[in-house]
């Protein structure tokens, strides 16, 4: 029996292999009820596979998972009644109107006809689609389709909502609109598990974040905790002369862990602390080393920076490695 | 226990027959709406078979020598069986489109009967078959077609055509669910179905074909279905064609069900 004090999602040693490729290599997670939990990672890290297992679309190769207190394999049908899923591609029927789409999903959740109709009407208004309610979904913009998809996913007032890269491919305005909708859901007490490639998005929405890499959770914590591991701020130093990359790297090493070098851009990036005066010190040190600085700028830590801090490589390199691994069919 | 505070209905009911019927009904309704909303579907469904009927009757009809009173009486059951078998395309295409659009993942994440997606698809296509059969018989009557048997035989004639087409639609459902793209469904279907429907008794008597082709046409299950539907339309003895059609339908069904279930449950 699920109780409110029990975890909404428990993932225990879950692995999943597709042939020789291991998408998940032993994931452990606990998601408390009522929070927005972010799964952060690059493409191919295993985020979607994990969501698919939790949403009962795939079975784990080993390990176990429970959602809303039910086992995702043995009690799959109970899990399905308790969850909502908005996948990477908006799952709407283009030929049906917005209202019909939501109503259909409501009926498939076995809501009585009248209730499904009423819920559809309420959600259409809540998601700002009332003007398009009776238009076929094929006339919707990308952002409208995502909102319709999300509305259909919560028609049953799910205890746990899965959002797989909810804003990928959306323009900035639609993204911000969708964020507001997800905020509202979270305020209503729904447990949300969302996957994203953007630290900014996880930071904005999730109260707790797990970083996924190569099918493993490599770090967990609040956004603040993760950023502290990055070092708070990221300083990018662009050099005029490529020959000075190595000496600059040596100097910057003193200010933050393992500076990252982008040879093509003549850029050395380092995570620095937030104590005052550090910038002046860095400039003085570079000057003393006769390094000619073309540009110097602070950035908010990105997913890359989190990855650098946690793994010593950038997210794109992870992508490349993964592509190589799946081509050769073997994993290091 | 948080579940009581939610509007969760008598949930977790995948097993119940009542809910299985309910889910299939919802899916059927959705697929019928898609038929009506997509003009090209409607045209393919109605205009094409009627056009075939008229072209064959008036362009080729004069050159045909058949045993029935006139060519339309010979032709209509043949085109009817061909049309409903071609309808299996719609089944495969519809499912392939759903699988591609991401709707499938949504359906598979819902607490619905596992069979509902396929049953809903097949039911909608069955209703479309009935509609088209009625339309073709109506047009046929305008250009000289007449049933020659009892009322029961007249109903059984299109019915056996549709009964034969259903398991084929089931087979195509499996193809639609496994196919890599909507386009590949088109190619597979066209290459498989077109020769099968033509090397048969649908348009010409088998005796008019070259000797080497006759055994192929004679043993084509499609020929049995056409002969069965035609004999019932004329009110004649089917010489075992009705039985052969029913046996073929059963065989195809036994093949189609496990393939369809496996294709649906296949992780994608």
Residue range B49-84, pLDDT digits in tens: 899 899 998 888 877 777 677 889 999 999 999 999
Query: Is the ipTM of this structure higher than 0.85?
Result: no
pLDDT at position A241: 87
Quick one: which of A193, A113, A114, A209 has its CA closest to A153?
Answer: A193
Give me the residue label for tokens 């006809």: A113
User: Could you give the CA distance from residue A14 to residue A28 in angstroms, rounded to a whole number?
Assistant: 7
User: Could you give the CA distance from residue B8 to residue B22 in angstroms, rounded to a whole number?
Assistant: 17
Q: How far apart are the first and last CA of chain A?
A: 41
Is the pLDDT at B239 greater than 90? The verdict is: no
In chain A, where the domains are located: 9-227, 233-300
Q: Which residues of chain A have a CB within 8 Å of the CB of B111?
A: 77-78, 80-81, 108-110
Using CA coordinates, name the residue in chain A closest to B110.
Answer: A80
pLDDT at position B257: 86
Superfamily for domain range A9-227: P-loop containing nucleotide triphosphate hydrolases (3.40.50.300)
Give the one of B12, B33, B107 whose C-beta lies nearest to A81's C-beta: B12
Find out if CATH 3.10.310.30 is the number for domain A233-300: no
Instruction: Point out which residues pair with A236 in neighbouring strands.
Output: A269, A297
Q: Could A82 and B8 be called an inter-chain contact, meaning their C-beta atoms sit closer than 8 Å?
A: yes
**Burial call B187-205: b when 16+ CB within 10 Å, e when fewer:** ebbeeebeebbebbbbbbe
Considering the domain boundaries, does residue B40 fall inside one?
Answer: yes
Structure tokens at B120: 């809903």
DSSP category for residue B177: H
- Structural domain that includes position B66: 16-265
From A190-194, B146-150, B182-186, B193-197, the region with the lowest mean pLDDT: B182-186
Q: Could B12 and A78 be called an inter-chain contact, meaning their C-beta atoms sit closer than 8 Å?
A: yes
DSSP category for residue B58: I
> Using an 8 Å Cβ cutoff, are A146 and A178 in contact?
yes
Q: Could B30 and A159 be called an inter-chain contact, meaning their C-beta atoms sit closer than 8 Å?
A: no
* Chain B residues within 8 Å of chain A (Cβ atoms): 1-3, 6-15, 19, 22-23, 26, 30, 33-34, 37-38, 101-112, 116, 267
User: Could you give the CA distance from residue A50 to residue A215 in angstroms, rounded to a whole number?
Assistant: 9
Structure-model confidence comparison of residues B150 and A297, the more confident one: B150
pLDDT in tens, chain A (332 residues): 444 458 999 999 999 999 889 999 999 999 999 999 999 988 888 999 999 999 999 999 999 999 999 999 999 999 999 999 998 888 899 999 999 999 999 999 999 999 999 999 999 998 889 999 999 999 999 889 999 999 999 999 999 999 999 888 888 888 888 898 888 888 888 999 999 988 888 888 999 999 998 899 999 988 878 877 766 678 889 998 888 888 988 888 888 767 778 888 888 888 776 677 888 888 888 889 888 888 888 877 766 777 777 776 665 555 555 445 444 433 33
Considering the domain boundaries, does residue B78 fall inside one?
Answer: yes
- pLDDT tens string B8-31: 444 444 558 888 999 999 999 999
Considering the domain boundaries, does residue B67 fall inside one?
Answer: yes
Question: Based on the structure, what is the number of domains in chain B?
Answer: 1
Quick one: which of A330, A331, A305, A329 has its CA closest to A316?
Answer: A305
Q: Does A48 touch chain B (CB under 8 A)?
A: no
Mean pLDDT of chain B: 86
Structure tokens at A167: 């804003």
Could you tell me the maximum CA-CA distance found in chain A, to the nearest angstrom? Answer: 76
Using CA coordinates, name the residue in chain B closest to A162.
Answer: B109
Using CA coordinates, name the residue in chain A closest to B18.
Answer: A110
Give the one of A52, A96, A109 whose C-beta lies nearest to B110's C-beta: A109
Q: Could B23 and A108 be called an inter-chain contact, meaning their C-beta atoms sit closer than 8 Å?
A: yes
């Amino acid at each position: 029996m699920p109780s409110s004090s029990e975890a909404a999602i428990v993932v225990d040693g879950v692995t999943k292999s597709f042939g020789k490729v291991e998408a998940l290599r032993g994931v452990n997670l606990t998601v408390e009820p009522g929070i927005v939990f972010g799964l952060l990672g690059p493409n191919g890290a295993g985020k979607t596979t994990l969501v698919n297992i939790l949403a009962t679309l795939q079975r784990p190769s080993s390990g176990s998972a429970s959602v809303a207190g039910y086992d995702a394999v043995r009690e799959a049908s109970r899990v399905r009644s308790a969850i909502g899923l908005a996948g990477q591609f908006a799952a709407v029927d283009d030929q049906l109107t917005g209202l019909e789409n939501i109503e259909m999903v409501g009926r498939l959740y076995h809501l009585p006809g009248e209730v499904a109709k009423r819920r559809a009407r309420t959600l259409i208004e809540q998601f700002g689609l009332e003007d398009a309610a009776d238009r076929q979904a094929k006339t919707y913009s990308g952002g409208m389709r995502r909102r319709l998809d999300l509305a259909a996913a919560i028609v049953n007032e799910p205890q746990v909502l899965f959002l797989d890269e909810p804003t990928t491919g959306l323009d900035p305005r639609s993204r911000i609109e969708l964020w507001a909708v997800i905020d509202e859901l979270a305020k209503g007490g729904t447990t949300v598990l969302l996957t994203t490639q953007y630290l900014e998005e996880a930071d904005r929405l999730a109260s707790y974040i797990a970083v996924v890499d190569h099918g493993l959770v490599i770090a967990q914590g609040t956004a603040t905790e993760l950023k502290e591991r990055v070092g708070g701020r990221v300083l990018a130093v662009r050099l005029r002369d490529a020959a000075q990359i190595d000496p600059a790297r040596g100097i910057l090493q003193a200010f933050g862990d393992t500076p990252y070098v982008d040879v093509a851009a003549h850029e050395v990036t380092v995570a620095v602390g937030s104590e005052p005066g550090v910038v002046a010190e860095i400039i003085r040190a570079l000057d003393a080393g006769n390094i000619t600085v073309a540009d110097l700028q602070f950035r908010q830590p990105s997913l890359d920076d989190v990855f650098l801090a946690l793994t010593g490589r950038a997210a794109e390199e992870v992508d490349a490695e993964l592509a190589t691994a799946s081509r050769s069919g073997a994993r290091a | 226990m948080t579940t009581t505070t939610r509007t969760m209905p008598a949930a977790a009911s995948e097993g119940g027959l009542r809910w299985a019927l309910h889910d299939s009904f919802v899916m059927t309704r959705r697929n019928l709406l898609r038929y009506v909303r997509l003009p090209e579907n409607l045209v393919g469904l109605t205009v094409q078979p009627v056009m075939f009927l008229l072209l064959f009757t008036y362009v080729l009809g004069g050159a045909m020598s058949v045993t029935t009173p006139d060519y339309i009486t010979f032709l209509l059951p043949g085109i009817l069986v061909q049309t409903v078998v071609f309808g299996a395309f719609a089944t495969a295409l519809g499912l392939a489109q759903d699988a591609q659009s991401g709707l499938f993942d949504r359906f598979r994440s819902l607490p619905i009967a596992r069979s509902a997606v396929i049953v809903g698809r097949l039911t909608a296509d069955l209703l479309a078959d009935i509609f088209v059969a009625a339309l073709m018989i109506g047009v046929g009557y305008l250009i000289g077609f007449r049933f020659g048997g009892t009322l029961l035989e007249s109903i059984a004639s299109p019915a056996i055509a549709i009964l034969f087409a259903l398991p084929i639609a089931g087979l195509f459902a499996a193809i639609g669910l496994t196919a890599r793209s909507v386009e590949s469904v088109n190619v597979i279907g066209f290459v498989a179905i077109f020769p099968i429907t033509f090397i048969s008794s649908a348009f010409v008597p088998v005796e008019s074909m070259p000797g080497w082709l006759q055994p192929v046409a004679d043993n084509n299950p499609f020929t049995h279905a056409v002969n069965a539907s035609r004999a019932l339309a004329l009110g004649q003895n089917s010489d075992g064609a009705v039985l052969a059609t029913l046996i073929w339908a059963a065989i195809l069904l036994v093949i189609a069900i496990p393939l369809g279930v496996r294709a649906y449950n296949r992780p994608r």
